[in-house]
Amino acid sequence: MKISQMLLASVAVLAIGMPAAAIADTSDKRIALSNNYAGNSWRQAMLTSWELVTGEAVSVGVVAAADAFTTAENQATEQAAQIQNLILQGYDAIVLNAASPTALNGAVREACDAGVIVVSFDGIVTEPCAWRIAVEFREMGRVQVEYLAGRIPEGGNLLEIRGLAGVFVDDEISAGIHQGVAEFSQFQIVGSVHGDWAQDVAQRAVAGVLPSLPQIDAVVTQGGDGYGAAQAIAAAGRDMPIIIMGNRQDEIAWWKEQKDANGYETMSVSIAPGVSTLAFWVAQQILDGEDVPQDLVVPFLTITQDTLEEALETTPEGGVANVEYSLDDAKAVIAAAK
């Protein structure tokens, strides 16, 4: 190793706390982020976290590049073409938030056949050659109904707000909500709309369906929709139900206002946008020769009545409650999966 390389490695060890040997093995590697959608605050926070963590990693020589690419439309065909372009551009690994769990499998297989590491997260893929970092999305849906069973033991009517139609995450969270309703049969879903994980879309969708619905006792959600639902319900002059929130700053700020005004109580749950940074470190570890299981699981991030103020203080306006992951965090997740 040249003296300049040794100094670079030493700086990286101090800044990121990783062994110099790992830097020597991946300092010439290039990792790309392929993202299918950036139209809400969660995705924006995900990209910001990626830039923050990977920018530091590149600056100290852990990897040579960590570029982010987002498709213009949430279309699997467009993202498949993007993956093929990244292969041609010579990236060593692709970190992938996929538009579909299956429609990208052909492009992912092409990447693997070309020797490119593929690590999918959030929107994962089913192609066996890829790695998957998943949150237990079904459980994220189910625990909402479990929480409501503790708050409303007698049960009641639920309005379900779903995410982007046709996306794996939407299907899984919804399946978990329905599993919860089957487990706690005192609840029934009396309406369902797609909010696309965006407050403005959710507000319009809820406003459109409310006139046809009976009394709503609670709203089960997927994230990015709680505040919009509250606005629509308030505008309709209805009693405010328990709305499960999704860790967005506008949601938890509204929750705090209502708590202070009238003791309003709920919970908030979502995947941390910083999971993109965990996927980066997992890709780096695979490139470094580590034996990493194909399937990894990370917990979702929950805000309770007791942690509301703390979460609000640390969440930027217009942002999402978040956790960014370090190399040590990635190693712990990998070890837990072995």
Q: Is 137-270 the same fold as 3-134+272-298+322-337?
A: yes
Q: Hunting for tokens 């570029």 — which residue is that?
A: 67
Say which amino acid occupies 134.
A
Q: What pLDDT, on a 0 to 100 scale, did the predictor assign at position 199?
A: 94
Are residues 238 and 217 in contact, defined by beta-carbon separation less than 8 angstroms?
no
pLDDT of residue 68: 98
**What is the pLDDT, as a whole number, of residue 24?**
44
CA 98, 99, 103, 107 dihedral sign is: negative
**CATH 3.40.50.2300 corresponds to the domain 137-270:** yes
Q: Which residues of the chain have pLDDT under 50?
A: 1-24
CA atoms lying within 13 Å on the CB side of residue 178 = 9
The span from the CA of 165 to the CA of 196, in Å, is: 7
Whole-angstrom distance, CA of residue 182 vs CA of residue 188: 9
For the chain, give every domain's residue range: 3-134+272-298+322-337, 137-270
234 burial type by CB count under 10 A (0-12 exposed, 13-18 middle, 19+ buried) = exposed
What is the CATH T-level fold of the domain 3-134+272-298+322-337, as seen in this structure? Rossmann fold (3.40.50)
Q: Which residues contact 238 (CB under 8 A, 6 or more apart)?
A: 210, 215, 216
For residue range 270-283, what is the model confidence (pLDDT) as tens digits? 989 999 999 999 99
What are the CB-based long-range contacts (under 8 Å, 24+) for 290-295?
290/334, 291/338, 292/131, 292/334, 292/337, 293/334, 293/337, 293/338, 294/128, 294/130, 294/131, 294/132, 295/131, 295/132, 295/134, 295/337
37 three-class SS:
coil
